[in-house]
Amino acid sequence: MTVNGWSTEQIPDLSGRTFVVTGATAGLGLATTRALASRGAAVVMAVRDQAKGHQVAADIAAAQPGVDLEVRRIDLADLDSVRMFADGMHADHRRVDVLINNAGVMALPRTLSPQGHEMQFATNHLGHFALTGLLLDLLLAGRDPRVVTVTSVNHRQAKVRFADPTGERGYSPMGFYNTSKLANAIFGYQLHRRLSAAASPLRSFLAHPGYTATNLQSSGSTPIWRLLLGRIGNPLLAQPVDSGVWPQLFAATDPAAQPGQLVAPGGPAELRGHPAPGKLSATVTDPERGRRLWELSEQATGLRFESLRPAS
């Protein structure tokens, strides 16, 4: 993958294509939705707060008349909500061309999801794992179908907590956030491996935004992380959202994007800059850890990707 100064101006015409974007009302998800809609895509905004979603969609439409936006509710922390969203998509859509697994929460106090999973792992990873599996048939019917899973540069300092996945025996808000983003990376890479083995037309991509000034650092984290990341880090170090979103938009739309690769900011330490190949940790590409996380995710969600069987 070679990228030279890529930005949203290089997004091709997307007319006739359908994108699903999770977390579409703020930050990277909002910037993604705006950019895709401006190029003619039909965008399904998968959001937890439906009223806010409709207001955001109205604001986008006021600035860009004629955009094709649809607002649907999903709470990624609640697997029942994920299934309801998928059921609605099957009722109203014959295909999905691109799924962008973007939504996330950061550095929360220890909380459990409705199904009893640690909240950050449930929202950032398990919800997206389930959503991808439940929409798999719609994606397989898509044109140049892609799944883009958004991880973090922090995945390289994390470990998968197989022995204590809920943090019952020891919990760190940022540590479990990093674990959830490592899980995102492992999932995206393992999905690529399984799709390739099945000779599937669907392709899996990974992206991360570097250090980008979004509301993620301030909307739900603990007070100390709101201070360090939001009030101090964002003004001093973070890049604007409109450039932080470039890697995931490149992965979602550009013909040069390579499945299984990480698209990251090309500047020092992958913190800012135009899209470029990023570095995946050895944990991400390790087959055994990938297998264990996949099996854990299947057990936690009750979902198997039955159509992803190796080609004979």
Alpha carbon distance 205, 55 (integer Å): 30
For the chain, helix (H) and strand (E) counts, in that order, are: 14, 8
Question: Across the chain, where does the E strand assignment appear?
Answer: 18-22, 42-47, 68-73, 98-101, 146-150, 203-207, 262-265, 275-277
Contact indicator for 209, 245 with CB cutoff of 8 Å: yes
Alpha carbon distance 302, 297 (integer Å): 8
Q: What value, to the nearest 5°, has the Cα angle with vertex 27 and ends 7 and 132?
A: 85
Catalytic residues: 177
Amino acid at 45: M
Contact indicator for 263, 280 with CB cutoff of 8 Å: no
